[in-house]
């Protein structure tokens, strides 16, 4: 990748703190979350692939969401763990580029996938009689492929733009991974037009999917309100509640970081929030989609031959 005249060969990731005791505590916490994330997402993927009752469009999307979360965990957390216990907090320029590219591609893909899942829930609740015809597995595969394609095309654009900056030999990143805003803060030139690109990517990868999700839920809520029985309303709402929780947690953290005015930018608070969508969210998703889901519980009981929950 072509770079400026005054560039660096590696970056230093400061992480959260330099206190050894706190670093050890953070290492244990992140290790537990990483283990739960990997085991939870792999288990959910295996359940969906193994049980024929889960071979439906909704679980097809959930399985792909788990696949994204699994790889997101592996992009971020191993390096975070290394930073917590090692005195060497450096990351090579090439590794930083790779981490940035894959993390952005996976995050953008997840934004699109959550929008596709909202459309699936809209059809399931608002048009149940034609659901099987309207949401075919071929259409689901198209939505997933388009999510990956859109995510990584946009990731390629932002990665190329970011890493052609001149970093002026300043290589200290006050964060625990190669994130966009800390990298832009290190750049000392060539930022012309970057704000416009940022607004374009925020609109195409976040605001448009959010608008589609909101539109889907407006129709969903309108349909639920037309249901006369309370039990019917609760049943309809339960089919989309897990997705709604995921959307709220995921987009809430992203919007907090990337849509605030620059005058309110704070690295310390952003590190805490970014930890949520990079580490905590991939761990929570398998539990969000399984603990309140009867079909997944039954599939788990069948697979592991345990007492029904």
| β-bridge partners, 245 | none
- Token pair for 186: 């290190």
pLDDT tens digits along 21-35: 888 898 999 999 999
DSSP letter assigned to residue 236 = H
Q: Half-sphere exposure (CA, 13 Å, Cβ side) for 15?
A: 25
The per-residue pLDDT for range 56-106, each reduced to its tens digit, is: 999 999 999 999 999 999 998 898 888 888 888 888 888 999 999 999 999
Going across the sheet that includes 90-92, the strands are 90-92, 10-13, 172-173
Percentage of the chain modeled with pLDDT above 70: 88
Which residues is 12 bridged to in the sheet? 90, 172
User: Measured between alpha carbons, how far is residue 20 from residues 27, 56, 83, 86 in Å?
Assistant: 10, 48, 11, 10
Pull the structure tokens for residue 68: 């994204």
At a CB cut-off of 8 Å and minimum separation 6, what does 254 contact? 107, 111, 206, 277
What pTM value is reported for the model? Answer: 0.87
The mean pLDDT value of the chain amounts to 83
pLDDT tens digits for 190-218? 666 677 777 787 788 888 899 999 999 99
Instruction: Please name every residue paired with 90 in a beta bridge, in sequence order, or none if there are none.
Output: 12
Length of the chain: 309
Does position 1 have pLDDT exceeding 70, yes or no? no
Query: What confidence score (pLDDT) does residue 244 get?
Result: 86
What are the respective helix, strand and coil percentages of the chain, to the nearest 5? 75, 5, 20
Per-residue pLDDT of 263-301, as tens digits, reads 555 556 667 777 877 888 888 888 888 766 777 777 777
10 or 272, which is more confident: 10
pLDDT for position 309: 46
All domains of the chain in start order, with CATH: 10-304 (1.20.1070.10)
């Amino acid at each position: 990748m072509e770079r400026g005249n005054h560039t660096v060969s590696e970056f230093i990731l400061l992480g959260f703190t330099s206190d050894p005791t706190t670093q050890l505590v953070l290492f244990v916490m992140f290790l537990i979350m990483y283990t739960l994330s990997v085991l939870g997402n792999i288990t959910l993927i295996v359940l969906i692939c193994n049980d024929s009752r889960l071979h439906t469009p909704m679980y097809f999307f959930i399985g792909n969401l788990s696949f994204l979360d699994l790889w997101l965990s592996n992009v971020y957390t191993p390096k975070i763990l290394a930073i917590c216990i090692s005195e060497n907090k450096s990351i090579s320029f090439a590794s930083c580029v790779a981490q940035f590219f894959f993390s952005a591609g996976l995050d953008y893909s997840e934004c699109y996938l959550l929008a596709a899942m909202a459309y699936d829930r809209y059809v399931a609740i608002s048009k149940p009689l034609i659901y099987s015809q309207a949401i075919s597995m071929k259409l689901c595969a198209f939505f997933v492929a388009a999510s990956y394609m859109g995510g990584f095309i946009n990731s390629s654009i932002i990665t190329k733009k970011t890493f052609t900056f001149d970093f002026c030999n300043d290589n200290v990143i006050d964060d625990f991974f190669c994130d966009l805003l800390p990298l832009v803060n290190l750049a000392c030139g060539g930022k012309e037009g970057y704000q416009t690109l940022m607004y374009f990517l925020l609109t195409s990868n976040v605001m448009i999917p959010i608008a589609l999700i909101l539109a889907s839920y407006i129709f969903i809520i309108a349909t639920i309100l037309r249901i006369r029985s309370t039990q019917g309303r609760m049943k309809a709402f339960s089919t989309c509640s897990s997705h709604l929780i995921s959307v709220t947690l995921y987009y809430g953290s992203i919007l907090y970081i990337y849509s605030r005015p620059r005058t309110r930018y704070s690295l310390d608070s952003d590190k805490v929030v970014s930890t949520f969508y990079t580490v905590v969210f991939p761990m929570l998703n398998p539990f969000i989609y399984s603990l309140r889901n009867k079909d997944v519980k039954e599939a788990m009981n069948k697979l592991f031959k345990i007492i029904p929950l």
